[in-house]
Amino acid sequence: MKPSQPAQGLFITFEGIDGAGKSSHIETLAQAFAAAGRSVTLTREPGGTPLAEQLRALLLHQAMDALTEVLLVFAARRDHLCQVIEPALARGEVVLCDRFTDATFAYQGAGRGFDWKTLSNLELLAQTGCGQQAGLMRNPDLTLWFDLPPAMAAARLAAARQPDRFEAQPQAFFSLVAQGYAERARQAGQRFARIDAAATREQVAAAMLAAVAQRGWLTAADPQAGSGALP
Ligand code: TYD
């Protein structure tokens, strides 16, 4: 890379049902990018800004109807995108985000049964018009989908801490959520990399790093990579 050319921003999201183990791998990928000379912003949804973190607390612990839930999720996302994600991408950073809009289609759409067309409309509205990409909807450059059978995820969650509103759902809910992710992956094609999360922790980490390296993003910062290539 020529020193005068700043790296292009790169937006990578982590998805999967609760208990799939994605969170433990985000730090590994952050370190790999740092070792490749990239600046990394680590963030999460719902959350990532003071306002969105307040909305997260409500979403995870407060009973509400399905439309309220969807509107709060997208309100949090809009604030996060405008305040954190777009500015970091504009600075040429790698943004690693624990969940994004695929979670809304999987949890609120497939899990709760909320209309997908309405979610698509809200997605377009919330993810357009802040940051550099005027007029274009912001989408991740890559979504790492940690896919685990719901029964295995339930067993892992049973050993975990006090469950929130989503984690407390029955296994049947997570079967629907898993189907939602599979459908999003089918629709999005190239953007998704499916990681077999039933493998050992080391194998999962290796598969994740391979999926990123395969796209040429883990070598020294490449100015042509990532969000600059968006249509
Ligand atoms: P999660 O990544 O599981 O946080 P933690 O690891 O701290 O438990 O996210 C919190 C929950 O939010 C998770 O159960 C899924 C849910 N969620 C939605 O229902 N819709 C969304 O759009 C997002 C981003 C998350």
CATH number at residue 60: 3.40.50.300
Residue 200 structure tokens: 């050992």
Answer yes or no: is 220 within a domain. no
Strand-pair partners of 145: 15, 194
Total number of domains constituting the chain: 1
Match 């377009």 to its residue by tokens.
124
Question: Measured on CA atoms in the order 222, 4, 228, 49, is the torsion positive or negative?
Answer: positive
Which pLDDT does position 89 carry in this prediction? 96
Answer yes or no: is 221 within a domain. no
Q: How far apart are CA 126 and CA 74, in angstroms?
A: 6
Which pLDDT does position 158 carry in this prediction? 83
- Atom of ligand 1 at shortest range from CA of 23: 6
What spacing in Å lies between the alpha carbon of 194 and ligand 1's midpoint?
Answer: 19
Identify the residue whose C-alpha is closest to ligand 1 atom 17. 103
Residue 124 structure tokens: 């377009």
Question: For residues 45 and 225, is the Cβ–Cβ distance under 8 A?
Answer: no
Answer yes or no: is 4 within a domain. no
Which amino acid, residue 39?
S
Q: What is the mean pLDDT of residues 111-140?
A: 92
What spacing in Å lies between the alpha carbon of 44 and ligand 1's midpoint?
Answer: 9
What spacing in Å lies between the alpha carbon of 167 and ligand 1's midpoint?
Answer: 9
Answer yes or no: is 3 within a domain. no
Answer yes or no: is 177 within a domain. yes
Strand-pair partners of 196: 147
pLDDT digits (tens, 9 = 90+) for 140-192: 999 999 999 999 999 888 877 788 999 999 999 999 999 999 999 999 989 99
Answer yes or no: is 67 within a domain. yes
pLDDT digits (tens, 9 = 90+) for 8-65: 999 999 999 999 989 889 999 999 999 999 999 999 999 999 999 999 999 999 999 9
Residue 83, classified by CB atoms within 10 Å of its CB into exposed (0-12), middle (13-18) or buried (19+), is middle
Q: If we measure between CA atoms, which residue out of 30, 52, 38 comes closest to residue 100?
A: 52
Res 231 pLDDT > 90? no
Distinct helix (H) and strand (E) counts, the chain: 9, 5
The residue segments making up the domain with residue 145 are 10-214
Strand-pair partners of 166: none
3 upstream amide cis, omega within 30 of 0: no
- Atom of ligand 1 at shortest range from CA of 107: 19
Question: For residues 198 and 34, is the Cβ–Cβ distance under 8 A?
Answer: no
What spacing in Å lies between the alpha carbon of 75 and ligand 1's midpoint?
Answer: 15
Q: How far apart are CA 140 and CA 45, in angstroms?
A: 13
Answer yes or no: is 226 within a domain. no
Assign 223 a pLDDT band (cuts: 50, 70, 90): very low
Answer yes or no: is 224 within a domain. no
Ligand 1 neighbours, Cβ below 6 Å, are: 18, 23, 45-46, 73, 98-99, 103-104, 107-108, 166-167
